[in-house]
Structure 1
Amino acid sequence: MTALVVIPARGGSKGIPRKNLLEVGGKPLIAWTIAQALEARTDEPDLIVAVSTEDAEIAEVAAAHGARVIERPAELATDTAPTEPTVLHAMDVVEGEGIELSAVLLLQATSPVRQRDTIARALAQFRADGVDSLVGVVPESPFFWRLPESRELSARAAYDVDARPRRQELRPEQMHYFENGSLYVTAPHIYRERGNRIGGKVGLFVLDEVEGVDIDTLADVAAAESMLTRLGWRTS
């Protein structure tokens, strides 16, 4: 059976206008996620890599970089439209061609930093672990605090301050894991039954810390370029 990668890419963006086409390391931002998904075809030759967009320029760029383009209906491309209906629409298009899907990967173009084998490893873990959804996460230390509800109360730590471990001694189960939106792998029936990318038995796919870069502001571009170079992606 076939796995489907869906990369949502609207033409509108409130923070950075035309963000999906922003130049990062000499390429349009969206091109990095397309390239990383196509890299997974070494292990997943039947992988379908699709960009869902309502924007003609993004569609042209996506096709030029090797992705299939799925035309997104206008009502799924508004500022308030959730992502899941866009994925379901892409699934409808592909399954309407008689293709049976074994997994659906949601990749956010605004998280352009991934190792070359990240997507292939995520798919392999999804299948090996027998989960219904796999969430990409970045590890963080457990040294978090909560503000008090009033000035008379003490701030609260999310860890035992009397038994504070050294960071290098932390075990995986003591860490916190931040869902950074970069990657999700989901069984098709979860989207159909729940209308959600997460459901059923959930697993975590632990990304490297350098893969946690997200493009929210122009200041994030330099960090992304640095990390892409560090991971061996060719930038200009």
Structure 2
Amino acid sequence: MSILAVIPARGGSQGIPRKNLLPVGGRPLLAWTIAQALEAREDGDVIVAVSTEDAEIAQVAREHGARVIDRPAELATHTAPTEPTVLHAMDTVEAEGVTLEAVVLLQATSPVRRPDTIRRAIAEFRGTGVDSLVGVVPESPFFWRLPEHPGASARAAYDVAARPRRQELTPQQLHYFENGSLYVTAPHVYRTHRNRIGGRTGLFVLDEVEGVDIDTLTDVAAAESMLARLGWRTS
């Protein structure tokens, strides 16, 4: 049984041009997620695959140790959902006789992960027996909603009459933000629901520093700082 770690990486980007190849800490952005996925191979058969339609991205992926799966053009548009890309990657490796235990979906634009994060996520998926595991970042519950119409009162998502101190919050009182960094999913969920999330779902709680996403160029410095803080070598 194998684990398939899929890293979707299109050549196009509506925000930062060629974002997956953007230099971050001395490496192309994509290379960080590849390196983190490769760390997970210590605990078993993990296939690290980059799905792309772009020749330059494919070359970078191979140079950094990943397998490349050629993505069909119709799955590489800016409106194409991610799940068909994952299913295409699953079809590709299963056609070679590989039996999949789980699929790990990794977002290259979330480059900040601890060296053992993906390995621990796989272990938690196995240990808990869930059908899908969602990577989340913990946040305080002190959220508000705008009033529904002018003159109405804004609404708090917590009890303002019994506001706890942050250091006294329990894990159950926190909110958990799905930042897209990683998902671990049983293959049957993709086949049945065509979704990365389905069945009994668990939360894999990431460190707060792992919540950095590269959406704008100003996010690069934050990512580089956090990568260095977690012990990754950056230039």
Residues 58-77 of structure 1: pairs in structure 2 closer than 5 A: 58-77=57-76
Counterpart position of 2:97: 98
Counterpart position of 1:138: 137
**Unaligned runs of at least 5 residues, structure 2:** none
1:233, distance to aligned residue in structure 2 (A): 0.2
Counterpart position of 1:227: 226
Output the amino acid matched with 2:36. Answer: Q
Counterpart position of 1:119: 118
Counterpart position of 2:178: 179
1:182-222 Cα shifts (integer Å, max 9, x gaps): 00000000000000000000000000000000000000000
1:103, distance to aligned residue in structure 2 (A): 0.3
Structure 1 moving runs of 4+ over 6 Å: none
Where 1:69 maps in the other structure, the secondary structure is strand
Output the amino acid matched with 1:35. Answer: A
1:151, distance to aligned residue in structure 2 (A): 1.8
Where 2:172 maps in the other structure, the secondary structure is helix
Residues 1-236 of structure 1: pairs in structure 2 closer than 5 A: 1-44=1-44, 46-236=45-235
1:152, distance to aligned residue in structure 2 (A): 2.2
TM-score by length of 2: 0.99
Which whole-Å CA distance do the structure 2 matches of 1:36 and 1:80 have between them? Answer: 27
Where 1:138 maps in the other structure, the secondary structure is strand
Output the amino acid matched with 2:221. Answer: A
1:90, distance to aligned residue in structure 2 (A): 0.1
Could you tell me the percent identity over the aligned residues? 81
Which whole-Å CA distance do the structure 1 matches of 2:223 and 2:40 have between them? Answer: 21
1:40, distance to aligned residue in structure 2 (A): 0.9
Which whole-Å CA distance do the structure 1 matches of 2:193 and 2:14 have between them? Answer: 29
Which whole-Å CA distance do the structure 1 matches of 2:159 and 2:139 have between them? Answer: 16
Which whole-Å CA distance do the structure 1 matches of 2:108 and 2:225 have between them? Answer: 17
Output the amino acid matched with 2:23. Answer: E
Q: How many residues align?
A: 235
Output the amino acid matched with 1:38. Answer: L
Which whole-Å CA distance do the structure 1 matches of 2:16 and 2:153 have between them? Answer: 39
Which whole-Å CA distance do the structure 1 matches of 2:75 and 2:149 have between them? Answer: 42
